[in-house]
Amino acid sequence: MRSTRLAASPALLTCLLLAGCSSVPLGTSDPDSSSSGAAPAPSPSGAAGAGHSIAVGAGPQKKYTVQQQPAAGSCHYRYEKGEPLEDPKCTPGAISPAVTQANLKSTICRKGGYTSGIRPSTYVTGKEKKLNAVSYGYTGNMGDAEYDHEISLQLGGDPNDPRNLWVEPPDPGHKKGGGVNNLKDPVETKLHTAVCAGKVTLSQAQKAIVTDWTTALSALGLD
């Protein structure tokens, strides 16, 4: 087939003779050019990249369902002074949209069992706990491990977001078969008391517990 050649304009011929002129034909886009017309790819961002903000969960539900857990063996405990901490990739924490700094008196700081009214049933959490134990590779006594809210309910943590729940192993030296009894719980209670007393903000307490529960009190000057 005979090819058809377009006559080059004098301006184009002149341009091609210049060293700095692009060789890309007019009317086509350069795949390596930033001016190709396509929107630039967004820079990586997200909760971790935006000031380490904490994810917001669905909040309290009338009916909870069993949540999907991370893949088997994909989560790994870390330890500080022998105390078990969660894997931040699997359990970064999640807060409830129902609890804010403005409504503390009517939510976590009110008298009358706020947390008991929003806690998922053991039917749901029991199944999740077994699945999460597989995620973390926990093979110890299940009765000694707590299915723990990384950000506790009394600190505005989301009740059933999988990002906020993990199988917490017992403390070092814990007597096997002695049931759940860990040092994280008293830290959560002290933080709750401080928040309700106005010594620290809700956000400060949440970020401190997510960062490292073993240093949360000292980081906020509460120890």
Residue 173 has pLDDT above 90, yes or no: no
Would you say 85 and 79 are in contact if contact means Cβ atoms under 8 Å apart?
yes
What is the band of 177 on the pLDDT scale with cuts at 50, 70, 90? confident
**Dihedrals φ, ψ of 2, to 5°?**
-75, 130
Domain annotation covers residue 222: no
Question: 3-state SS of the chain?
Answer: CCCCCCCCCHHHHHHHCCCCCCCCCCCCCCCCCCCCCCCCCCCCCCCCCCCCCCEECCCCCCCCCCCCCCCCCCCCCEEECCEEECCCCCCCCEECCCCCHHHHHHCCCCCCCHHHHHCCCHHHHHHHHHHHHHHHCCCCCHHHCEEEECCCHHHCECCCCHHHEEEECCCCCCCCCCCCCCCHHHHHHHHHHHHHCCCCCHHHHHHHHHHCCCCHHHHCCCC
Q: Is the pTM of this model over 0.85?
A: no
Domain annotation covers residue 137: yes
Express each pLDDT in 33-80 by its tens digit: 333 333 222 222 233 333 569 999 999 999 999 999 999 999 999 999
Averaged pLDDT for residues 195-204: 98
Cα torsion 157, 160, 163, 168: sign: positive
Q: What is the C-alpha separation between 19 and 15, in angstroms, rounded?
A: 8
Averaged pLDDT for residues 105-115: 93
Full residue range of the structural domain in which residue 101 is found: 60-181
> How many domains is the chain partitioned into structurally?
1
Express each pLDDT in 139-148 by its tens digit: 999 999 999 9
pLDDT at 52: 65
Domain annotation covers residue 207: no
Domain annotation covers residue 169: yes
Express each pLDDT in 118-140 by its tens digit: 999 999 999 999 999 999 999 99
* Average pLDDT over all residues of the chain: 82
Residue 17 has pLDDT above 50, yes or no: no
Domain annotation covers residue 77: yes
Domain annotation covers residue 209: no
pLDDT at 69: 98
pLDDT at 113: 84
Domain annotation covers residue 142: yes
pLDDT at 164: 98
Domain annotation covers residue 82: yes
